[in-house]
Amino acid sequence: MRSFASDTVHKINQTVTVKGWVNSRRDHGGLIFVDLRDHTGVVQLVVQPEQVDAFKAAGELRDEYVLAAAGTVRERSEELKNPHIPTGTIEINIDQLTILNRSQPLPIQIHGEALANEDLRLKYRFLDLRRPKMQHMLKKRAEYYAVMRRYVEQQGFIEIATPILANSSPEGARDFLIPSRVHSGKFYALPQAPQQFKQLLMVGGVPRYYQLAACFRDEDPRADRLYGEFYQLDLEMSFVEDGEEVRSTMEPLIKQLATDFAGKRLMTDTIPRIPYREAMETYGTDKPDLRFGMELVELTEVLKATEFGVFKNAECVKAICVKGASTLSRSQIDSFTDIAKSEGAGGLAYLTYEGGEVKSPIAKFLKPEELSAIKQAMGAADGDIVFFGADKRQVVNKVLGRLRNEFATHFNLKDPNIIALAWIVDFPFYEQDDKTGKLDFGHNPFSMPKGGLAALQAEDKLGIIADQYDMVMNGYEICSGGVRNHNPEVLYEVFSVLGFGRNYVDARFGGMINAFKYGAPPHAGCAFGIDRMFMVLMDEDNIREIVAFPKNGSGVDVMMNSPSVVDDAQLKELHVRSVED
């Protein structure tokens, strides 16, 4: 009967068979130790020369050889116990040892601290996955899925699969296209999200739908964004007209994941709802990390009479107070200045509070009453530095928002044991392009404008609010959702504001809008980015660390060599011309 490594500790004086990989071999000439590793851990095998065949086989072992070993579990004498491993109190005296398979010398080291380049790890992912940390990740991920499924099913959601071969959706991300063999010149697209299908399920009478849905987007990746494919916990509820119902339905799950599942503390038990504009003004971003304060403080009024040109000529002046920042060296401040410039700032003005006075290259340009008003508004004390942003409002928010984040990292304010959650609500329905001045959808064209048809008639289109909400976890957007627009007339109008006629809408979204004409119930939902949320819960800052087989940053699977060229015959069958043409 086969035993796992970790179980053998409970089987003293029993005969066991263990199977696994050679973690290490210590050959003392007349006595050979083998650390055998399986998914449960490591156990020490002892091979004596008296067991002639086993001893001979043990002599041939190398790292990562695969073996089956049978023998008797013995308690080690006190001085031989190893407190560093869970099975260190026992060892297995081996009678029989079979080499099941051999391994070439490893291209990457899989134990120890020094990790190979990520690209090499991905090429040899099957070896990388043998590392205990990766084994733990895989197991934990399965548990994570189970927790989510259990919760949503308790809430009455039922899982329904939606098509993978779907339709191109021109308004969103770049599609992955699949040429149709049967219909020459036509294409399927892999779904960017099951958005339209899940809304159709609502029309189809499903009260609550969920799916651990694969989503496909051909956009350049980031550290927190996979290339190509990722998973969402996708949900939709019918007869819901208030997004609050969706938010309050899902909150307990996320809290449970943060606490019971990930073993962290919640920053606040009540999850704040922060309007988009407030988030932008207070944190300079719509995905604020709320584990720390350092909020943006408006100083435009305080400094409206200033004669300091940089502030005087700016549309907006704001600042953040960085506690204890006076320890920063000049060159460190310079590097933060570079960051500010990279976000569009002209420079980075600051006031240092030290020894009861203000030190700064700009202090002499400010009147004493201005300096004291700033100090008071910022709540600055000795040891702090106040950093300013003075520019167009949008630029100031962006620069200070970025700096807030960078300073928090620098001063270790991001406590990994805390999860800070927030709902960002009331997104603008439309946004204006900086350069072209053209209006476009801010978020999701399928969400309901607050106030419905009447609101869309408003003169100020930028003031129209979408019933749309995101959940933010420690500075990462982990969920996006909305109350959907289930009214065909309102939906046509939403596009009409941008100059798109009915024909346009019918052509692109005909499947869905047609359905809405046959008694669509009001509905709302959301989708959680499973991979990204898991990354945050597992304390990783690279999303590829928590995926078994991710593509690299160029969208290449370096292990399987995809994408790859295909035969001309295949292309011909799909009515696709080869690249040479």
Partner RNA sequence: GGGCUCGUAGUGAAGCUGGCCUAUCACGCCUCCCUGUCACGGAGGAGAUCGCCGGUUCGAAUCCGGUCGGGCCCGCCA
- In this structure, the number of other CB atoms found within 10 A of the CB of residue 323 comes to 17
Residue 53 sits in the site that holds RNA (CB under 7 A) = no
| Shortest separation between residue 497's beta carbon and RNA, angstroms | 14
Q: Which is nearer to RNA, 284 or 445 (CB)?
A: 445
Residue 31 sits in the site that holds RNA (CB under 7 A) = yes
| Shortest separation between residue 388's beta carbon and RNA, angstroms | 22
Q: Which is nearer to RNA, 109 or 154 (CB)?
A: 109
Length of the chain equals: 581
Stretch 85-124: interaction string toward RNA, x if CB under 7 A: x--x--x-------------xxxxx-xxxxxxxxxx----
With beta carbons less than 8 A apart as the criterion, state whether 94 and 8 touch. Answer: no
Among residues 80, 161, 164, 507, the one that binds RNA under rule CB under 7 A: 80
Strand 187-189 to strand 177-179: parallel, antiparallel, or no bridges (unpaired)? Answer: antiparallel
Two tokens, residue 14: 């029993």
Position of tokens 């031989």?
A: 80
Residue 232 sits in the site that holds RNA (CB under 7 A) = no
Q: Per CB under 7 A, which region of 214-222, 328-336, 407-415, 563-571 contacts RNA?
A: 214-222
Q: Which is nearer to RNA, 81 or 273 (CB)?
A: 81
Among residues 139, 222, 277, 341, the one that binds RNA under rule CB under 7 A: 222
With beta carbons less than 8 A apart as the criterion, state whether 102 and 115 touch. Answer: no
Q: Please state the φ and ψ torsions of residue 536, each to the nearest 5 degrees.
A: -65, -45
Q: Per CB under 7 A, which region of 13-21, 216-224, 246-254, 487-495 contacts RNA?
A: 216-224
Hey, CA dihedral for 525, 530, 533, 537, is it positive or negative? positive
Q: Which is nearer to RNA, 230 or 261 (CB)?
A: 230
Q: How far is CA 504 from the centre of its chain?
A: 34
- Residue 447 DSSP one-character state: B
| Shortest separation between residue 34's beta carbon and RNA, angstroms | 9
Angstrom distance (rounded) from CA 431 to CA 442: 5
Angstrom distance (rounded) from CA 26 to CA 335: 50
Residue 220 sits in the site that holds RNA (CB under 7 A) = yes
Q: How many residues touch RNA (CB under 7 A)?
A: 69
| Shortest separation between residue 191's beta carbon and RNA, angstroms | 9
Angstrom distance (rounded) from CA 534 to CA 271: 19
Query: What is the rounded end-to-end Cα distance, in angstroms, of the chain?
Result: 62
Nearest to 198 by CA among 165, 167, 169, 238: 238
Q: Which is nearer to RNA, 203 or 299 (CB)?
A: 203
Distances (CA, A) of 44 to 9, 27, 64: 11, 13, 15
| Shortest separation between residue 256's beta carbon and RNA, angstroms | 26
Among residues 556, 559, 571, 574, the one that binds RNA under rule CB under 7 A: 556
Angstrom distance (rounded) from CA 312 to CA 319: 15
Two tokens, residue 318: 């704001």
Q: Per CB under 7 A, which region of 19-27, 295-303, 409-417, 490-498 contacts RNA?
A: 19-27
| Shortest separation between residue 569's beta carbon and RNA, angstroms | 27
Angstrom distance (rounded) from CA 254 to CA 222: 24
Contacts to RNA from residues 326-365, by CB under 7 A:
342
Among residues 219, 315, 357, 369, the one that binds RNA under rule CB under 7 A: 219
Residue 56 sits in the site that holds RNA (CB under 7 A) = no
Q: Please state the φ and ψ torsions of residue 414, each to the nearest 5 degrees.
A: -95, 85
Contacts to RNA from residues 258-317, by CB under 7 A:
none
Residue ranges in 184-320 assigned as alpha helix (H) = 195-203, 243-256, 276-283, 309-312
Q: How far is CA 205 from the centre of its chain?
A: 32
Stretch 502-531: interaction string toward RNA, x if CB under 7 A: ------------------------------
- In this structure, the number of other CB atoms found within 10 A of the CB of residue 87 comes to 23
How crowded is the C-beta side of 555, counted as CA atoms within 13 Å? 12
Q: Per CB under 7 A, which region of 149-157, 204-212, 217-225, 252-260 contacts RNA?
A: 217-225
| Shortest separation between residue 550's beta carbon and RNA, angstroms | 9
Q: Which is nearer to RNA, 428 or 488 (CB)?
A: 428
Position of tokens 């011309």?
A: 577
Angstrom distance (rounded) from CA 35 to CA 143: 28
Residue 481 sits in the site that holds RNA (CB under 7 A) = no
Among residues 56, 133, 139, 174, the one that binds RNA under rule CB under 7 A: 174
Q: Which is nearer to RNA, 26 or 181 (CB)?
A: 26
Q: Per CB under 7 A, which region of 10-18, 21-29, 265-273, 384-392 contacts RNA?
A: 21-29
Stretch 416-455: interaction string toward RNA, x if CB under 7 A: ------------------------xx-xxxx---------
Per-residue b/e over 115-140, b at no fewer than 16 CB within 10 Å? ebebeebbbbbebbbbbeebbebeeb
With beta carbons less than 8 A apart as the criterion, state whether 381 and 375 touch. Answer: no
Among residues 37, 130, 208, 217, the one that binds RNA under rule CB under 7 A: 217
Nearest to 362 by CA among 410, 405, 303: 303
Q: Which is nearer to RNA, 343 or 370 (CB)?
A: 343
Q: Per CB under 7 A, which region of 82-90, 357-365, 370-378, 488-496 contacts RNA?
A: 82-90
| Shortest separation between residue 119's beta carbon and RNA, angstroms | 4
| Shortest separation between residue 36's beta carbon and RNA, angstroms | 11
- In this structure, the number of other CB atoms found within 10 A of the CB of residue 241 comes to 15
Distances (CA, A) of 432 to 229, 274, 441, 460, 492: 29, 22, 9, 12, 20
| Shortest separation between residue 544's beta carbon and RNA, angstroms | 7
Binding positions for RNA, rule: CB under 7 A: 24-31, 33, 35, 44, 46, 48-50, 62-63, 76, 80-82, 84-85, 88, 91, 105-109, 111-120, 169, 171-174, 192-193, 195, 217, 219-225, 342, 440-441, 443-446, 542, 544, 552-554, 556
